Amino acid sequence: MTVDPHSVLLHPYVTEKTLNFLEGTPALKQTDGNRLEFIVRRTATKTQIREAFETLFEVKVEKVNTYIHRDGKHAIIKLRKEFRAEDVAMRIGVY
């Protein structure tokens, strides 16, 4: 069953911490960047989130982590090395 990608990914979640996800934080020796965080539909599975993200932004996803917070379900999406999270962030207007 295919789901509309726009109904899965609601909007990007942008804070100072999530901006550090783009490149990692070299001051803290965290080089594990290349990630974006989105608020997603509460019933969305990791597979649906991966497929929606890959369809909308034409990139490949390495890993999806999710957690539920009082403001909704969050998905931290890590891109494969050949794609850059900064490029996607520029396209969606995070910067």
> Which residue from 14, 4, 1, 22 is spatially nearest to 74, judged by alpha carbons?
14
Q: 0.75 cut: is pTM over it? A: yes
| pLDDT number for residue 28 | 55
| pLDDT number for residue 25 | 66
User: In this predicted model, what pLDDT tens digit does every residue of 12-67 receive, in sequence order?
Assistant: 999 988 888 888 766 655 567 899 999 999 999 999 999 999 999 999 999 999 99
Q: Where are the alpha helices (DSSP H) in the chain?
A: 5-8, 16-23, 46-57, 85-92
> Which residue from 20, 11, 30 is spatially nearest to 75, judged by alpha carbons?
11
- 8 A C-beta contact, residue 51 and residue 39: no
User: In this predicted model, what pLDDT tens digit does every residue of 24-34 receive, in sequence order?
Assistant: 766 655 567 89
How far is the C-alpha of 88 from the C-alpha of 95, rounded, in Å?
10
Domains of the chain: 5-92 (3.30.70.330)
The order of strands in the sheet holding 61-69 is 9-12, 35-40, 72-79, 61-69
